[in-house]
Amino acid sequence: MASSQAQIQVGAHGIYNKLLGDAGEDAPAGFGGGVQARYFVSPKFAVGLGVDYIAHSDEEEFFGVTVKSTATIMPITLNASYFFTEEGFRPYAGLNLGMYSLGGSVEVAGEKEDAETQTKFGLAPMVGAQYMFNEMVGLDLNVRYHYIMNKDEDAGVADNTTAFGVNLGLVFNFGGK
């Protein structure tokens, strides 16, 4: 790692998320946020931990009755990233592996009922880039393809859940060599 880079990087980001396949056919886009921490084990390779929260909300009216629904996804993942350069503009590719907490609620005519939360294994390959404004602060943009292994035909879930996510945020470097 170049001397202008840090060993530890923390960041926060906003999320745009679109469910794919049957689950995303009529679903609105989701929005959320997340935090991550990375430790650079070499100048171009980092491992870390990330936590995100994404909500897909919708509201419709049927026969004069308002129905509000919210589906939530909370990935808690370990990640590994390979950076192709060491300074300035830093494109990278990586993989997130971990647990995805899936939940939600439905409100009909003011009566709200929460769905049972499920925790399933998932993964998310990602590609992105960072642009460092200076030695300490940078911009991070990445896209992820989430694959959540929640298929359960007995419960009416015919396919695993897939989603496309775009994350944009700031990163902060600490503890340079």
Quick one: pLDDT at residue 148? 93
The Cα 1–Cα 10 span in angstroms is 16
Kindly tell me the burial class for residue 56, based on how many C-beta atoms sit within 10 Å of its own C-beta (0-12, 13-18, 19 or more).
buried
Any idea which fold 6-176 has?
Porin (2.40.160)
Quick one: pLDDT at residue 123? 97
The Cα 68–Cα 108 span in angstroms is 7
Quick one: pLDDT at residue 4? 45
Quick one: pLDDT at residue 158? 61
- Tell me how long the chain is: 177
- Taking the model in full, what pTM does it have? 0.85
Quick one: pLDDT at residue 24? 66
Mean per-residue pLDDT pooled into runs of 10, the chain (177 residues): 65 96 79 97 95 92 87 96 93 98 87 87 97 93 94 68 95 83
Quick one: pLDDT at residue 1? 41
Residue holding tokens 């960072």?
130
Quick one: pLDDT at residue 98? 97
CB 160 within 8 A of CB 149: yes
User: Domain ranges in the chain?
Assistant: 6-176
Quick one: pLDDT at residue 152? 73
